[in-house]
Structure formats: C-alpha cells, structure tokens
Structure 1
Amino acid sequence: MRKVDLLFAEYSKSHRNAINKMIHWICVPLIFWTILGFVSLVPAPHFCISYFGCISIVSIIMVVLITLFYIRLSFRISIIMILMMFLAEHFIYLTNISLGKQSWILYLLVFVITWVFQFIGHKIEGKKPTFIQDIQFLLVGPIWLLGFILKKTGIKY
C-alpha cells in the first residue's frame, strides 16, 4: 500500500462520525488558509503578478516546502494542492489589501474559531485528533479531503 493510502487510512480512523467530517470539510480548508495568511504577513519582499496580486518570498517558500511534502505522497495531489495554495494566496492578497495591517485579526479569529470546532468534532467523535500522535497529519487533513473529491470524480491520485 502506498504511503498516501496509509496516511489516509490512519487519518480516517478518527474521522468517521458524520458531524465531525462535516466540521472538517469546513474547518480544515479555513485553517490551512489562515496559516498561509499568517505566513503572508511576515515582512519580506513580494512578487506581483498581473491579475493575481502579490505574494511574498516567505509565502513562496512555504508553498514549496508543503508541495515537497505532498509530492512524496502523490504527484497528482501535489499539483492540485499547489494550484489550491496559489488560489488561497490570491484570496489572502485580497484580504491583506482590504484589511491592511488588521488582517492578522481576521486570520486569528478564523484560526481560533475553526480549531474550537475541530476539537468539538473530535469530542463528538470520541477520538483525539491524529496530529497529536504525528504532526504531519496537519498537512494530511487537506489532502484527505481532496482524496474524497478525487475518488468521487474517478480521478486516481
């Protein structure tokens, strides 16, 4: 069995309850977005691209590092996730432009609220979050959701 399948199987063990799964479908992408949002606020030079916006060098490094983790698991998932991360970066840019120096407050609020819901979901589930046993599961959550979408559409990962 491939490592990605093993990680999905392990992650699934604590994500069987329908309410917990629903919470994860909402909260995991938002947590991922807020982390990228926080990284975007690190003072660093930015690259600006027409019709996209600006992205910091620190954000680019973060996207590359996350992609390297994903590429070890599945090339197809890594390509989709890099596209998703750059889409998220576009919305982060719009958020940062709209809210200016106050954007960190939005990222913090969303981050805290979504984690509260995640822990509520796991309380309902009756199992601890998988990242407590292994930190890499923080990056598995988003691709676990993507894996469901790919399976439903018949795309092999």
Structure 2
Amino acid sequence: MAATHEDATTGTRPIDRWFDSYSGDHRNALNVRLHTIAVPAILWSVIALLWCIPVPPGGWFRPGIFAALGMVAAGSFYLRQSRVLGLSMLAVFVAMGASCWWIVETFGTRTLLWTAIAVFVIAWIAQFIGHKYEGRKPSFLTDLTYLLIGPAWVVAKVLRKMGIVW
C-alpha cells in the first residue's frame, strides 16, 4: 500500500498519524508559536550547512550539491506522504536554497556558514524553551523521523490557514 493512500481500516493516511502524534507533543500555545518560527529556521540552517560543504573545484559537483541532495531525499519522503504537501515542501526548499545561493553570491560561503550556525543554535534553544513550557520532551527523541515531520507540520498548518487541503 502506498503511503499516500488511506488506511482501509482507519481512514487515515500515515502522515495524519504522524501529525496527530506530533501535535500531541505541541499543545502549549507558546511552544507552538516558537516551533512555527524555529522549525523552519532549523530547516534553513541545515540546508545552509549542507550548502557549505566544500566540493572539489572543476568537477561535476557545484557548491550546494549536498544541500540539493538532502532536499531531494526529504522531498521524496514528503511526496510519498501527500502530493500537495510534497509540492509545498518543494516550494519551501526552492526558496531556502535560493536564499543560500544569494547569501553565498553576495557575501560568501563563510558568511553563510556562520549565519547557519547561529540560526541553528538559537532556533534549537527556542525549541527547548518551548518544550520546557510544554512540559514534554521533543518528539524526535522518540523517533528521528519527527525531524522530517516538524517542517511538514508547520507547512500543513499554513496550508490549512490558506484553505488548501493537503
């Protein structure tokens, strides 16, 4: 059975179960607000850090290839869950990749690297502050897949606010 299909016995898709579980760990209003900002920030910082991995000069690979490979891998996970969600995440990846490219072209790789490190650290601190208020441990401590679910959870919230069924 493909992941995008509903379970015949429950009528839910696997992504719905992931989101329900993730939402259960994120009920406190402050924690949800912090996650809505920090999760995309962490996603961007990971893409930026992957962008900064050096590639051999003059070869097939160009700067950003490792970020692109990571985005393709994550994108395939999201597409298997939901076509609309996958395409929405693709748009997020394109925007984040474009911002990394712009920073490198404008300010250099070193600026992207240090900015990514700072964003990564600050955003994770915000995440843990939110979970302190929540009184629950972060979801990814039970299953690393939640590191992929978090960004999709934020995007799904935005899609719902826009009236888009994913």
Same-fold status (TM-score > 0.5)? yes
Equivalent residue for 1:99? 107
Gaps in structure 1 of 5+ consecutive residues? 47-54
Q: Match for 1:85 among 93, 98, 102?
A: 93
Q: Does 1:19 align with 2:12?
A: no
Amino acid at match of 2:144: I
Aligned structure 1 segments of 4 or more residues deviating by more than 3 angstroms: none
In structure 1, distance between residues paired with 2:70 and 2:127: 24
How many pairs align?
Answer: 149
What is the CA distance between 1:41 and its match in structure 2?
A: 0.8
3-state DSSP of counterpart to 1:30: helix
Q: Match for 2:137 among 128, 132, 146?
A: 128
What is the CA distance between 1:98 and its match in structure 2?
A: 3.2
Using the size of structure 2 for normalisation, the TM-score is 0.85
What is the CA distance between 1:147 and its match in structure 2?
A: 1.2
Amino acid at match of 1:91: S
Gaps in structure 2 of 5+ consecutive residues? 1-11, 56-60
Equivalent residue for 2:70? 62
What is the CA distance between 1:150 and its match in structure 2?
A: 1.6
Equivalent residue for 2:79? 71
Q: Which has the larger radius of gyration?
A: 2
Q: Does 1:112 align with 2:121?
A: yes
Identity of aligned residues (%): 34
What is the CA distance between 1:107 and its match in structure 2?
A: 0.7
Q: Does 1:42 align with 2:53?
A: yes
What is the CA distance between 1:88 and its match in structure 2?
A: 0.5
